[in-house]
Amino acid sequence: MPLSAPLSLADALALHRREAGIAHTLELTLPAQQAPWHPSGLRVEAGQHYSVFARGRIDWSRRLPGLHGGPRFHLWARVSPGGRIVNLRQDTDSFIADCAGELEFGIYMGMWKNAFGELASDPAIYARLTGELTLQVVLWQHSALAGLRALAVAAPAVPAFAAELAHLEHPAPPPAGWDYLVEAGQAEMYRPTRTPDGAPAIHLCGADDQGILVREVDFPLSPATRLDWRWRVDTHPSTVAEDTPYTHDYLSVAAEFEDGRDLTWIWSSSLPVGHHFACPIKAWSARETHWVARSGAQDFGRWVSESRAVHADVAAAIGPPPARIVRIWLIVVATFQHGRFDAQVADICLHDGEQRLAVL
């Protein structure tokens, strides 16, 4: 007898709809060149759980085939009207509707203007994209966790169910006191840890991913202000200069100022220490400036300390310094060259001789 074909995800959802507590399902394809947002026709109530299983690829350049991203990079959702935007932390993810309305899905490219999905970038940037993402959307009668547990038992040959179940059963929230920058989306690459001497630290580890972790502060920026930290890099996401829009994979600690600009001190793979440049990604270029604080692989695998004169660095790289620092950022980008990264950061501190603020 011929072997039966493997059960597809869509078929498994239809076959086990009742026992898994599925309210509705929908398959939706999002073309790369259409800017957000796409209506789904699915209505959710506030507090209702839904899951998204996605596949596909968005190519950013017809000339450079290495520049691309999948659902983790591009796919966002919201409830319209009035819902806040959410992004997939991997190619499958589950959410709880924050208000009642219609589910909408969008391919993100450029920059969000706010947490409700208004695009700050020119939608014309979508014209150069190719590819598509295909989504299976599941609305649950009860919880996503209960439904996925039932599906993992009923359809063990469908790996997406077990993967999303593991994702929900082993969450990776941001370290206490920190959160993800809305414009860059939620991620799961930052984990609390300890240094060998027992100090609190944050571990940055993953591959082909990106995220910006932020902590709110309120600290005066004067000529005496310094930002100190320790870090250890074991694996760097780039082996080439990071100052082009095709190779902009890096690790950094940054300060955001009251005027919305930020200066980010990177550990470069090869750029000279002291080199600074506007972010090569157009949507970020007016907002973010990079300064090479450390370079090369000679210090990989060991803890090293940094101390930056923030006021002087801002004056040299950006212009007249604003009056206050409002957030400290930890940044990882590894989505241009799709490489791996592994690093730790500890002992982040702001001080000016009169006051001292322990950030981490």
pLDDT in tens, 91-122: 999 999 999 999 999 999 999 999 999 999 99
| In a shared domain, residues 208 and 350 | yes
196 and 345 together in one domain: yes
Q: Is residue 3 part of a domain?
A: no
User: What is the domain range of residue 262?
Assistant: 179-358
Determine, yes or no, domain membership for 313: yes
290 burial (CB, 10 Å; 0-12 / 13-18 / 19+) is buried
Rounded Cα distance between 240 and 178, Å, is 30
Is the same domain home to 295 and 161?
no
State the Cα–Cα distance between residues 296 and 305, nearest whole angstrom.
15
Contact 238, 337 (CB under 8 A): yes
Domain count for the chain: 2
Does residue 357 have a pLDDT over 50? yes
pTM summary value: 0.92
CATH number at residue 194: 2.60.120
Res 3: pLDDT? 46
Residue 238: how many CB atoms within 10 A of its CB?
22
Give domain status of residue 287, yes or no.
yes
Query: What is the tens place of the pLDDT at every residue in 50-71?
Result: 999 999 999 999 899 999 999 9
Give a yes or no: residue 161 inside a domain: yes
Burial of 321: CB neighbours in 10 Å, binned 0-12, 13-18, 19+: buried
User: Does 205 share its domain with 63?
Assistant: no
Q: Report the relative pairing of strands 288-295 and 262-268 from DSSP bridges.
A: parallel
Residues 160 and 219 in one domain: no
On whether residue 84 sits in a domain, the answer given is: yes
Do 247 and 335 fall into the same domain? yes
